[in-house]
Amino acid sequence: MSNQTSENNKRIAKNTLLLYFRMIFLLVISLFTSRVILQTLGVEDYGIYNVVGGVVSMFAFLNSAMAGATQRFMNFDLAKNDEEALSITFSTALIIHFIIATVIVILSETVGLWFMYEKMVIPTDRMNAAMWVFQCSILVMFVNIISVPYNAAIIAHEKMGAFAYISLLEAALKLLIVYLLYISPIDKLISYTIMLLAVSIAIRFVYSSYSNRHFAETKFKWIWNVEKIREMGSFASWSLIGNLALMGVTQGLNMLLNVFFGPVVNAARGIAVQVQGAVQQFANNFQTAINPQITKSYASNDLYYMHTLVCRAAKFSFLMVFLLSLPVLIMTDQILELWLKTPPLHAAGFVKIMLVITMIDSLSTPLNTAIHSSGKIRLYQLVNGSFMLFVLPVGYVALLFDTNPNMVFYSQLLMTIIALFLKLIFAKKQVKIPLKMYLKNVLCPIVLVSFVSFVIQYNIYAIFEHNFVSFLIFGFLSLLLTLTFIYCLGMDGQERCMINKKAMGIIKKF
């Protein structure tokens, strides 16, 4: 292994640990605050917050496409060590994001407002509170969009410690929100929305300030570089299709549930999304740390290293998600009752399906990063994005034949599985990832670990009494067994050797 590869692996490991520190801290705060907020707001208001905020989020696909382009071009410029190009990329991206933010505000205040009043199911006496949620969500969206280039700079430079440390402030502010919400004399939903806006502005200001102090390219310059705008815009325009599909899968399905079932089912989905997000962060943190290296290795024409990174990222992303998801899948009802006391109807079913979707999605993200690294994404986005757009009409037709709200998520699960194989085909064509390599190093190990772990642990749980003590015992036992199966069945010899070496190093320190 070359010195450069060794340094890259150490950087990935360090950044992953920092991101996990950030995630665990925020996860504890999030689970605590979610319970208090659900109890304080009530199921109906919690559902209103989720679905009304989702109206604004529908237009975020415009920004998501450009955010991916910004990250890709900054990673590329850093790999080439081209400081002038990096500065031009940042300033151009900031101008474009400001324009996008303005367009989204206009769309939200016209199309979004019309949809909220004319199509959504919201109780008449809560329309005023819903309007506060809507307007504050627009402002949060605006602030987040113009902050994207600053966050892209932090990720491109692989300074993940910034995310970990700033999260301490974010967690403290969210805890403060819970206390202030409890004592607030005015409408709880309105209070909650305003306070979230204030926290969002504060955190975004801190990220921007950090970037300005540490990275020379984030000193904004008015640069109207037509060539760079065309280059980034072309890349983003094709990404737009994929992000439009993502909007349909997330917020589109949320709107569909509201139209058919009302805000109470939106509350159940909100809880499921909370659980999904908590589990998904285990994969996202690892992927955030490794994604810059995938792009940079492609830019350096080191395809073998890139293929290795993609396969390793896919396998361990899945196994990280599976490690947490398995006990949740087996003990869903018990966990929701312990966490929320009285969870919304359908929440348990939503959680189970969405966790399976999350596991499959974790395999797709490294492939997506590799394909985007090539810059040749037109056909990929046309095929993959157009296919995923079918989730919404398929979900709608499914509800017409069966009024079980789970049907929309079954439709999403089916499309997600097919989309994974589409991405594999494109990865082979665009960046030469061998399908045999992916099958051997990724799919075979995860299927084996998943099957053995689920069968053994499901049967063990069947003999447990369902109380708090058994919940703790089985949770610990599940993690221990799954880790054992991952080590024995999911890792190859080189990976086990690396784990053994790290473990011995830690033992020697003590």
User: What does the domain layout of the chain look like in residue ranges?
Assistant: 1-230
How far is the C-alpha of 305 from the C-alpha of 282, rounded, in Å? 23
Report yes or no: 386 and 241 within 8 Å, Cβ to Cβ. Answer: yes
- Quote the pLDDT of residue 485: 93
Q: Where residue 64 falls among pLDDT bands split at 50, 70, 90?
A: low
In 3-state terms the chain splits into helix, strand, coil percentages (rounded to 5) of: 90, 0, 10
How far is the C-alpha of 29 from the C-alpha of 441, rounded, in Å? 36
pLDDT at 3 over 90: no
pLDDT at 238 over 70: no
How far is the C-alpha of 436 from the C-alpha of 424, rounded, in Å? 11
- Overall residue count recorded for the chain in this entry: 510
| Mean pLDDT in residue range 111-139 | 81
Residues with Cβ within 8 Å of 385's Cβ and at least 6 positions away in sequence, in order, are 241, 242, 243, 244, 245
How far is the C-alpha of 323 from the C-alpha of 486, rounded, in Å? 9
- Quote the pLDDT of residue 22: 63
- Quote the pLDDT of residue 411: 85
| Each residue's pLDDT tens digit, 252-279 | 777 788 778 877 787 888 888 877 877 7
Rounded to the nearest 10°, the torsion over CA 91, 93, 94, 99 is 130
- Quote the pLDDT of residue 59: 55
The chain-wide mean pLDDT, for the chain, equals 78
Which range, 82-86, 221-225, 497-501, has the best average confidence (pLDDT)? 497-501
117-131, 231-245, 247-261, 329-343: segment of lowest average pLDDT: 231-245
pLDDT at 151 over 80: no
Vertex 49 angle, CA 252 and 189, to 5°: 170
208 versus 229: the higher-pLDDT residue is: 208
Rounded to the nearest 10°, the torsion over CA 396, 400, 403, 408 is -20
DSSP state at residue 433: -
Q: Of the candidates 322, 324, 189, which has an alpha carbon nearest to the alpha carbon of residue 267? A: 189
- Quote the pLDDT of residue 286: 67
Residues with Cβ within 8 Å of 287's Cβ and at least 6 positions away in sequence, in order, are 313, 317, 362, 365, 366, 369
- Quote the pLDDT of residue 105: 84
| Each residue's pLDDT tens digit, 405-464 | 888 888 888 888 888 888 899 888 888 888 899 999 999 999 999 999 999 999 998 888
Residues with Cβ within 8 Å of 464's Cβ and at least 6 positions away in sequence, in order, are 470, 473, 474
pLDDT at 1 over 50: no
Phi and psi at residue 73, to the nearest 5°: -70, -35
Report yes or no: 318 and 363 within 8 Å, Cβ to Cβ. Answer: yes
352 versus 276: the higher-pLDDT residue is: 352
159 versus 238: the higher-pLDDT residue is: 159
How far is the C-alpha of 292 from the C-alpha of 72, rounded, in Å? 8
- Quote the pLDDT of residue 439: 92
How far is the C-alpha of 294 from the C-alpha of 296, rounded, in Å? 6
- Quote the pLDDT of residue 447: 94
- Quote the pLDDT of residue 445: 93
347 versus 57: the higher-pLDDT residue is: 347
Q: How many C-beta atoms surround the C-beta of residue 155 within 10 A?
A: 19
Q: What single-letter amino acid sits at 349?
A: G
Task: Give the tokens for residue 480.
Answer: 């221990």
Q: What single-letter amino acid sits at 198?
A: A
